[in-house]
Amino acid sequence: MNVGITYDLRIDYQRQGYTDEETAEFEGIETIDAIDSALSGVGHSTDRIGNVQSLTARLAAGERWDLVFNIAEGLHGYGREAQVPALLDAFCIPYTFSDPLVLAIALHKPTAKQLVRSMGLPTPDFIILNDESELNRVNLSWPVFAKPVAGGSSAGVSGASIARDRTELARVSSDLITRFQQPVIVESFLPGREFTVGIVGTGERARSYGVMEIFLLKDAEPAVYSFINKRNYETRVSYQLARDDVAARAEQIALRAWIGLGGRDAGRVDIRCDADGKPNFLEVNPLAGLHPVDSDLKMLGRLQGKSHSELIESIVASACERIPGRTLKSAGAA
């Protein structure tokens, strides 16, 4: 197939003055190289399209592709991850990963949590703060956890996100609202084990890619898988496969949430346990990072002896199930 690749390259935005945290979700060139290599390695021709502006220009010029491998995150608005898929839908061009509705729902954490709760799945109680004047509405038990309603890659998440009283919550929420120009979601803080569950596939064909437990080391910012811990994971974080009964329950919740929300091809679901050790849904990432070394999905694969190319092939095979008359065999149970 002729496969286009859509993405936001971090360095392009950093050259425009955006910070590391503002560009945390965007990719480095090594990610694009690895995806390109995996696609080329199984016989596809590839075309690096770039971001939504580049895609728009090339579509207007009449260019088309058999499939677009989309990892474009977008920059502005709650629908930023939905921009490229919506444009491709308008031109009837197939693409990898979830559709615009799922991407917009998943990005807006409160909406995703409300839907997951309607499925009967556990998720922490929460409230949305639009500004400091609404602090008196917070009626959750302390401590609570605050983060941007539509952030990604742990942007805005730090040790200060754990607020033990209204004064601390006022401080962190004011900072987040100012920095990210969006409301804050405030959740009951879960003090237990933390997992990320990889998912490959769509609908009833979706399957677990493994459950990875996150352990913070002594040099880490304590109690939270924060932006700085994630960026410095080599010295601050340990990742291990989890296969006990609690991990199995986390896996079950993740799969039910993934299928219920309509996730496609591959992604991740983040789970954390409450004080009683019961797993709860935190959030879903239907456009998970695909860095060949640093991404959580790649780490999950590496812990199980699975290659990056196998993962990419499985994603493409899943996407091809939506193209009439075209089915690709995946590289196995990636």
Q: Look at residue 1 in the predicted model and tell me its pLDDT.
A: 95
Question: How many angstroms separate the CA atoms of 316 and 97, rounded?
Answer: 9
> What 3-state class would DSSP assign to 268?
strand
Q: What is the DSSP string of 155-202?
A: TT-SGGGEESSHHHHHHHHHHHHHHHSS-EEEEEPP-S-EEEEEEESS
Cα torsion 4, 93, 312, 257 to 10°: value is 140
Choose the weakest-confidence range: 11-15, 23-27, 50-54.
23-27
Task: Provide the CATH topology of domain 125-188.
Answer: Dna Ligase; domain 1 (3.30.1490)
Question: How many angstroms separate the CA atoms of 33 and 100, rounded?
Answer: 25
| Cβ(129)–Cβ(177) below 8 Å | yes
Task: Please state which CATH number belongs to domain 194-320.
Answer: 3.30.470.20
Which tens digits make up the pLDDT trace of 169-207? 999 999 999 999 999 999 999 999 999 999 999 999 999
Q: Look at residue 325 in the predicted model and tell me its pLDDT.
A: 75
Q: Look at residue 123 in the predicted model and tell me its pLDDT.
A: 98
Which tens digits make up the pLDDT trace of 99-113? 999 999 999 999 999
Q: Look at residue 329 in the predicted model and tell me its pLDDT.
A: 58
Q: Give the confidence band of 133 by pLDDT, cuts at 50, 70, 90.
A: confident
Higher pLDDT, 235 or 152: 235
Average pLDDT over residues 156-177: 95
Q: Look at residue 328 in the predicted model and tell me its pLDDT.
A: 62
Task: Provide the CATH topology of domain 2-96.
Answer: Rossmann fold (3.40.50)
Which tens digits make up the pLDDT trace of 210-257? 999 999 999 999 999 998 999 899 999 999 999 999 999 999 999 999
Average pLDDT over residues 148-161: 89
Question: From the CB of residue 110, how many other CB atoms can be counted at a distance below 10 Å?
Answer: 15
For the chain, list the strands marked E by DSSP. 2-6, 45-50, 67-70, 126-129, 144-148, 162-163, 184-188, 194-200, 207-216, 237-241, 266-273, 279-285
Average pLDDT over residues 20-24: 81
Nearest to 155, CA basis, from 207, 109, 205:
109
Domain residue limits, the chain: 2-96, 125-188, 194-320
SS3 of the chain: helix, strand, coil, percent, to 5: 40, 20, 40
